[in-house]
Structure 1
Amino acid sequence: MLTTRPRGTNDILPGEVEKWQYVEQLAREVCREYGYGELRTPIFEHTELFSRGVGETTDIVEKEMYTFTDRGERSITLRPEGTAAAVRAYLDNKLQALPQPVKLYYMGPMFRYDRPQAGRYRQFHQFGVEVFGSHSPSIDAEVIAMAMDIYRRIGLRDLELHINSVGCPKCRPGLRQRLQEHFKPHLAKLCPNCQGRFERNPLRILDCKNESCQELGRHAPTTLDVLCEECETHFNQVKGYLDTVGVPYIVNNRLVRGLDYYTHTAFEIMAQDIGAQSSIGGGGRYNGLMEACGGPATPGIGFALGLERILLTAERQGITFPVSRGPAVFVATVGSELEKQAFALLQSLRQQGIAAEKDYLARSLKAQMKYAGKLGARWVVILGEEELARGVAMVRDMQAGEQQEVGLAELVNYIRNTTNNNQCRGL
């Protein structure tokens, strides 16, 4: 049906979209305080960027990407995540010439063909940050602390921060060998995807959601068993920085994340009671991704937070957002002959930064008042011929249920001086 949205997508309507705007603005403010600048990349990129950057053995590349051939016979993919696109933008725009590290953030829709469920959609929205040009463990800790700071300011409770080190090219080969030795006797019992991963990337078996594969991997060696001295030192320093600023964490040696590009630090933030997927955000370090995308060796780290999952968690935890709904002022008229005066006053209020609205359906005054109440207007300014002749209007406070005459010249100041700061945007 043309009137039905595609499966796995959502319409975000007035009344709900204000919550999104509140969370987005809060995230932008945190980024300003932490020194991150906004990056906006195309919604689609060349498919090779994601196959090389995200990893050919990931579920995203193997099963979930929206890929098509354009009229120029180029393979194009709707972005399934933001990091590879940020790396491409860093290289394409020669941001390595800027003072390092370069700290960026982005937000917007991502696309993955997945089975829709609570908090998981085919078009979903992410807020993410990326830092390029520093291998310092303090940057790792800053990125993690920043994510937790955003959740704290939103008001989310009972979150668990899981962290791990997934090693580097020096120590990963040893883990690969030990994992293959562990899984080889059970190869026939692995799911078809993991049987393919056995040769290409056995570490990805630890991330499989299949119950049989999870059980077979329960006693498999982990990254922490084979860390080289450099990785172990880095991970210990990251934990030390988190301890310094009082960010609690759980070391989870099973955490590998779902993308091939991670090295060293990986982390995930968990919330309870949001359906089958308890993760509401996560990220890690990816020191080899820049080279995989054709650039010079450049360290990087970042995270992505799912906005749908944040809002779902907030709803289930009973968190309300201080968002404004409806106009501050509704202009009502006694008689249709005053429509032009009402229209002029409406525009004057708006030009002063006051959210204002009027009737457009020729309702009676009683119906206008009822409509103003449904809109949630704080004040109703009632225009009548007699009052206009004297240069005044009747102003009714819808919260207090009181009204008084106010001179039209003093109307803006009257509303400004009596408003609650949370009632009227822009006052």
Structure 2
Amino acid sequence: MSFQIPRGTQDILPGETEKWQYIEQTARDLCRRYNYKEIRTPIFEHTELFLRSVGDTTDIVQKEMYTFEDRGGRSITLRPEGTASVVRSFVENKMYGDPNQPIKLYYVGPMFRYERPQAGRFRQFVQFGVEVLGSHDPAIDAEVIALAMEIYRSLGLQKLKLVINSLGDAESRKAHREALINHFKQRIGEFCEDCQARLEKNPLRILDCKKDRDHELMMTAPSILDYLNDESRRYFEKVQMYLTNLGIEFEVDSRLVRGLDYYHHTTFEIMSNAEGFGAITTLCGGGRYNRLVQEIGGPETPGIGFALSIERLLAALEAENISLPVGKGIDCYVAALGEKAKDESVIIVNQLRKAGIVADKDYQDRKVKAQLKAADRLQAKYVAILGDDELDRKVINVKDMNTGEQTEVPLHSLVEYLKERLR
């Protein structure tokens, strides 16, 4: 019986994993520079957490969650996104009591959504995200957006577009909600079943519909920007001012509502403009959620964050023909000829590794010529060749694979010799 990988998942093999590690390390280093700390939450949570936070009118909750009953009869869901888990942890661990506010966090890990697999979209995918909890300052909105943009820029991406919008505060959203209902209700029968169900529950979700996005009423729908009260308008203007001062170009799109119910005020997406990237151009999305902590049972605490898909990021790099500077090859391959030399090579490789040198040796009992070919395939910078005669004389031959030059080195000096040349 043969087994195949489940649909919508992927194996990331050596040669590719190095790219993932480089991306993750770049993002981690930037987060450290911005003073964000890593948080790790469970891969599954109680289903109610996502029902309350993500919203029961969203596609994620209605169609995409992996939900099951555990042996205790509890409803459990594999996390479809990262924010709800981070906020749950913030509340449960009383991080709001920490004197260092706001709390600035980042995470990286797999998420799960049951949706139709397509280019750049998987049922198990990896998100890198940040969350800031405890600040009403529009400057933190700009900082979060700047961090997201900096991750992409640091990896070499150039063809990017930042789109922002404001959903306003509760008062603004309420006025806009009523305007949307009045706008759509006379012809709601022309829309899909999901939109019809959302009309009274959450009409803002209609604007996020993929099926009816070209309907004429979508084009003439009331803009949230026309319903922002003075406070919300000033807030949004501040965010735009900070972005401008930071030299970050952006476009305002009043139809940008995002796919989750917990957003208020600032929302944003970063898209790829690379030719041939595909119909789905969004790389990253995020926004402010000032009522989510309270919804999950904590004190009234503002928050903002974003999440990016590493799979989508890799696709964007490919679209722009960007090669990541991932380390290739090893530092030294130890080739041995003779029984005593083979035994000694185990010790030599161990010494090299302890000294921080990337080293390997033959484990297939191959001839020296075959070992040299193996070293070439591994892209070894140096090959240390040891025979029983060299071992008796306590020396080893080191070959520079770039120049072909070969040097006899005392065995006790091999580590220092290689460290000097690798430096």
Deviations 1:376-427 (A, max 9, x none): 111110001222222211111112222111122221222122126xxxxxxx
Alpha-carbon distance, 1:2 to partner: 4.7
- Give the match for residue 24 of structure 1: 24
How big is the alpha-carbon RMSD for the aligned residues of Structure 1 and Structure 2? 1.2
Secondary structure in 2 aligned to 1:171?
Answer: helix
CA distance in 2, matches of 1:214, 1:269: 25
Deviations 1:111-159 (A, max 9, x none): 0001111111000000000000001000000000010011110101110
CA distance in 2, matches of 1:284, 1:51: 19
Is the counterpart of residue 344 in structure 1 residue 347 in structure 2? yes
Deviations 1:353-389 (A, max 9, x none): 1111011111111111101111111111000122222
- Give the match for residue 183 of structure 1: 184
CA distance in 2, matches of 1:148, 1:406: 50
Please, which moves more after superposition, 23-32 or 313-322?
313-322
- Give the match for residue 285 of structure 1: 288
Alpha-carbon distance, 1:282 to partner: 1.2
For residue 228 of structure 1, what is the amino acid of its counterpart?
N
Is the counterpart of residue 77 in structure 1 residue 80 in structure 2? no
Alpha-carbon distance, 1:97 to partner: 1.1
Deviations 1:77-116 (A, max 9, x none): 0000000000000011110111210000000000000111
Verify the 8 A CA contact 2:351 2:415 in the aligned structure 1: no
For residue 229 of structure 1, what is the amino acid of its counterpart?
D
Is the counterpart of residue 86 in structure 1 residue 95 in structure 2? no
For residue 337 of structure 2, what is the amino acid of its counterpart?
V
Moved over 6 A (4+): none
- Give the match for residue 131 of structure 1: 132
CA distance in 2, matches of 1:264, 1:346: 58
CA distance in 2, matches of 1:229, 1:53: 27
For residue 104 of structure 2, what is the amino acid of its counterpart?
K
Is the counterpart of residue 379 in structure 1 residue 393 in structure 2? no
Deviations 1:254-306 (A, max 9, x none): 10000000000000000133323211101000001011111111000000011
Verify the 8 A CA contact 2:192 2:212 in the aligned structure 1: no
Is the counterpart of residue 354 in structure 1 residue 362 in structure 2? no
- Give the match for residue 405 of structure 2: 402
Deviations 1:156-213 (A, max 9, x none): 1110000000112111111111111111121111011101001100001001111466
Verify the 8 A CA contact 1:381 1:394 in the aligned structure 2: yes
* Unaligned stretches of 5+ residues in structure 1: 421-427
CA distance in 1, matches of 2:25, 2:388: 43
Is the counterpart of residue 329 in structure 1 residue 335 in structure 2? no
Please, which moves more after superposition, 321-330 or 74-83?
321-330
Per the normalisation by structure 2, the TM-score is: 0.97
Secondary structure in 2 aligned to 1:330?
Answer: strand
CA distance in 1, matches of 2:127, 2:421: 39
Please, which moves more after superposition, 204-213 or 146-155?
204-213
Is the counterpart of residue 315 in structure 1 residue 303 in structure 2? no
For residue 58 of structure 2, what is the amino acid of its counterpart?
T
Q: CA separation of 1:2/1:91 partners in 2, compared to 1, >3 Å: closer, same or farther?
A: farther
Verify the 8 A CA contact 2:35 2:104 in the aligned structure 1: yes
CA distance in 2, matches of 1:213, 1:166: 22
Verify the 8 A CA contact 1:208 1:214 in the aligned structure 2: no
CA distance in 1, matches of 2:288, 2:215: 25
1:148-227 correspondence to structure 2 within 5 Å: 148-211=149-212, 214-227=215-228
CA distance in 1, matches of 2:330, 2:66: 40
Verify the 8 A CA contact 1:206 1:214 in the aligned structure 2: no
CA distance in 1, matches of 2:277, 2:298: 39
CA distance in 1, matches of 2:254, 2:403: 58
Verify the 8 A CA contact 1:87 1:290 in the aligned structure 2: yes
Secondary structure in 2 aligned to 1:371?
Answer: helix
For residue 347 of structure 2, what is the amino acid of its counterpart?
A
- Give the match for residue 60 of structure 1: 60
- Give the match for residue 425 of structure 1: none
Verify the 8 A CA contact 2:19 2:324 in the aligned structure 1: yes
CA distance in 2, matches of 1:391, 1:244: 65
- Give the match for residue 252 of structure 2: 251
Deviations 1:213-233 (A, max 9, x none): 654311101211101111100
Same amino acid, percent of matched pairs:
56
CA distance in 2, matches of 1:310, 1:399: 34
Please, which moves more after superposition, 339-348 or 270-279?
270-279
How many residues align? The count is: 420
Secondary structure in 2 aligned to 1:209?
Answer: coil
Please, which moves more after superposition, 140-149 or 378-387?
378-387
Verify the 8 A CA contact 1:105 1:128 in the aligned structure 2: yes
Verify the 8 A CA contact 2:341 2:386 in the aligned structure 1: yes
Secondary structure in 2 aligned to 1:302?
Answer: strand
Verify the 8 A CA contact 1:30 1:150 in the aligned structure 2: yes
Is the counterpart of residue 411 in structure 1 residue 406 in structure 2? no
Is the counterpart of residue 274 in structure 1 residue 305 in structure 2? no
Verify the 8 A CA contact 1:57 1:201 in the aligned structure 2: yes
CA distance in 1, matches of 2:405, 2:213: 68
CA distance in 2, matches of 1:342, 1:260: 61
Secondary structure in 2 aligned to 1:103?
Answer: strand
Verify the 8 A CA contact 1:380 1:396 in the aligned structure 2: yes
Secondary structure in 1 aligned to 2:408?
Answer: strand
Per the normalisation by structure 1, the TM-score is: 0.96
For residue 10 of structure 1, what is the amino acid of its counterpart?
Q
Q: CA separation of 1:214/1:30 partners in 2, compared to 1, >3 Å: closer, same or farther?
A: farther
Verify the 8 A CA contact 1:274 1:309 in the aligned structure 2: no
CA distance in 1, matches of 2:364, 2:343: 14
